[in-house]
Structure 1
Amino acid sequence: MITMEAVIEVPAVTDGSPWPVAAMAPGSWLMLNAGCAGDQVGLFVTALAGRIEVQPPDGRDEVVNALLADEFLIAAGDLQVRDPTTGTVMTPGCCAGLEDWRDWAQVLIGDSPWLGHDPGPEVEFVSDDLRVRQDGGETRHRGRWAGVHVDLPQSALPGLLIGVQRDLVGFLDALTGWATRIGLQRPGPL
């Protein structure tokens, strides 16, 4: 059965982090769901913090306060589509953001969401299926991703998106538990 998961791209953690983070290879994908361990949640928060301006030697409370004060949080990622039968995994393209995951609902009205570039993933309609291509657009049929795709029934997409939403809500619970366990202070008035 085809699966769809919310993922973020793992950043390079070079300057350390004010909390424990999972040891994952930069450029790999961290799935977000209720089962995320504390160090995985820490890695997610570190990825978010990498895009805001916090002056060293600010501590963890200052980092979190800056995140909470930011109007629009951005995390490199999106939805990953996996076909366990073939082992094919379709990952977000460069510059795609998890904050745009809801754009996949555009497929339900016949449009393809923007899934990033390089290698240029895209969704196309093939009969009653959706073909999610890793290498679409101008680069199709060239390069290492040529022809790599996952086909899923259009009728399965609403259930998959509901599952992603459920995973993200579960991840928020994991994030709340993590923040409590590491003793983060509540932010002052914003």
Structure 2
Amino acid sequence: MQAVVEVPNFDFHPLPPWPVSAAAPYSFMPIHPTSSDTDVGLFVSALICGLEGDHDDPVAALLAEGTLSQPGGLRLTDTATRAVVAPGCCAGLEDWREWVDILAGQPPWLGHGPTPEVEIGIDELRVWQDNGANRHIGQSIVVERSALPELLNSVHRDLTGFLTCVQTWSERNGLGSKGTDLVEAIDRNFHMTAPLIFPEH
């Protein structure tokens, strides 16, 4: 289980003022404690792509926003079969903690086109890439229900570590206090460092 963000298509957005990782538009980039400066640059650039209009100081424009969002979410990969279930369109990284609600019997909304779905069983979860009419012949991944907390704790550690990468990136780019404010804004909007609380069984 990995936190991922969707790579923007810079053909339709202003080029970022810093280096970014080379990645195919609309692919998914994992974020984690060893993310490179260019990965962080891509993450922040994707945030900027969500703003209206052009900005002389894009970081200041981000900080002026009341709410930040980022297309993406959590991606599952079966290490044995290599099956992958990725977030659907309109899913956002900001909603990643909704996976916790599965343990209380409430499946999260994971986007559409395709429309991923979590089928909740007693001991297992089956995560489908698409809940359409032919879903039962489509790709899916089985997760032991008891394994979900540790998978989410691993994502939590990745996101917390990623914030350190953002702070380092902001220092290298000379953002000063705006860099610290950016870290706080990302943490607040994407709920990265707050403790994970699981429902009692």
Which TM-score applies when normalising by structure 1? 0.88
Q: Residues 146, 135 of structure 1: CA spacing in aligned structure 2 closer, same or farther, 3 A cutoff?
A: farther
Give the SS at the match of 1:124.
strand
Q: Map of 1:18-57 to 2, 5 A cutoff?
A: 18-56=17-55
Match for 2:84 among 57, 67, 89?
Answer: 89
Q: Map of 1:55-134 to 2, 5 A cutoff?
A: 55-56=54-55, 58=56, 62-134=57-129
Moved over 3 A (4+): none
Question: How many pairs are equivalent?
Answer: 177
Determine the C-alpha separation between the residues in 2 that align with 1:179 and 1:146: 46
Match for 1:140 among 123, 133, 150?
Answer: 133
In structure 2, what is the equivalent of residue 179 of structure 1?
170
Q: Structure 2, unaligned stretches of length 5 or more?
A: 182-201
Partner AA of 2:22 in structure 1: A
Determine the C-alpha separation between the residues in 1 that align with 2:67 and 2:149: 26
Q: Higher helix fraction: Structure 1 or Structure 2?
A: 2
Q: Structure 1, unaligned stretches of length 5 or more?
A: none
Give the SS at the match of 2:138.
coil
In structure 1, what is the equivalent of residue 8 of structure 2?
11
Query: What is the CA distance between 1:158 and its match in structure 2?
Result: 0.6
Partner AA of 2:50 in structure 1: R
Determine the C-alpha separation between the residues in 2 that align with 1:69 and 1:186: 14
Determine the C-alpha separation between the residues in 2 that align with 1:29 and 1:17: 18
Query: What is the CA distance between 1:184 and its match in structure 2?
Result: 1.4
Partner AA of 2:5 in structure 1: I
Deviations along 1:22-50, one digit per CA (max 9) or x if unpaired, are 11000111001011110110000000000
Determine the C-alpha separation between the residues in 1 that align with 2:141 and 2:176: 44
Partner AA of 2:152 in structure 1: L
Give the SS at the match of 1:19.
coil
